[in-house]
Amino acid sequence: MEVKNGTLHIYNENRNRSFSLRNMRNTTQKAYVTVTNLQKIEASGGVDIRFETPLKTGDLEVNLSGGTDLENLILDCNRFNGQFSGGCDAGITFSGAKEVKADISGGSDVKLREISARTTWISASGGCDIELTGKTDSLTLDASGGCDVSASGLEAQDCTAAFSGAADGGLFVTHRLDIRVSGAADVTCKGNPRDISKSVSKSSSLTMR
């Protein structure tokens, strides 16, 4: 563990040439960190991150990959930018955020709950499972590659969405919906939006409820 240029680095470092992964198979290593100003979290390789208290910060960037898990984060921030790949599991509950952006891929399972933002931008690919709840003025959503996006709990005034490649999803839109559905994708939308622009291929479906 060391600090370089204002960044805390936590990693395994072993200088013993006889080190064997077999001997470490059932070993769990823990690090407890207390911070007053957190701007970025980057983790990979099966790390488990658990927050014990709510976090209030300015802008927060989260970059997780390789089976990393993020648990129990209650977040109050200005802008959130998250990248989740390689089978990550993450659960974030927002107590405040003006902008929410997430790029999710590679079979990751991500839950972003109680969003209350002006803008929300989500990109999903590669068999991800995503749950979104809360409210947003504007939602931009791009889902492909067998993703399942449950956004029927996220009330959006305006929504621009694209579903392709057997992606499934649910939306909640109250004012304007601009949507493209193709490649055997199935989408349902509630909220009775007044202004609808849609393009739906023969192999896909869009159901308004």
Of all residues in the chain, the percent with pLDDT exceeding 90 is 81
**SS3 track for the chain:** CEEECCEEECCCCCCCCCCCHHHHCCCCCCCCCCCCCCCEEEECCCCEEECCCCEECCEEEEEECCCCEEEEEEEECCEEEEEECCCCEEEEEEEECCEEEEEECCCCEEEEEEEEEEEEEEEECCCCEEEEEEEEEEEEEEECCCCEEEEEEEEEEEEEEEECCCCEEEEEEEEEEEEEECCCCEEEEECCCCEEEEEECCCCEEEEC
pLDDT at residue 22 tops 50:
no
15 pLDDT exceeds 50?
no
**Looking at per-residue confidence, does 14 or 115 come out higher?**
115
Share of residues in the chain with pLDDT > 70 (%)? 88
Predicted confidence at residue 29, as pLDDT, reads: 73
How many C-alpha atoms does 81 have within 13 Å on its Cβ side?
A: 8
| pLDDT tens, residue by residue, 52-76 | 999 999 999 999 999 999 999 999 9
Residue-level pLDDT at 9: 74
CA–CA separation, 95 and 97 (whole Å): 7
Q: Which of 141, 142, 128 is nearest to 173 (CA)?
A: 141
Instruction: Give pLDDT tens digits for 108-138.
Output: 999 999 999 999 999 999 999 999 999 999 9
In degrees and rounded to multiples of 5, residue 199 shows phi and psi of: -140, 115
Instruction: Enter the CATH code of domain 38-208.
Output: 2.160.20.120
User: What pLDDT, on a 0 to 100 scale, did the predictor assign at position 6?
Assistant: 67
- Confidence at residue 4, expressed as pLDDT on a 0 to 100 scale: 72
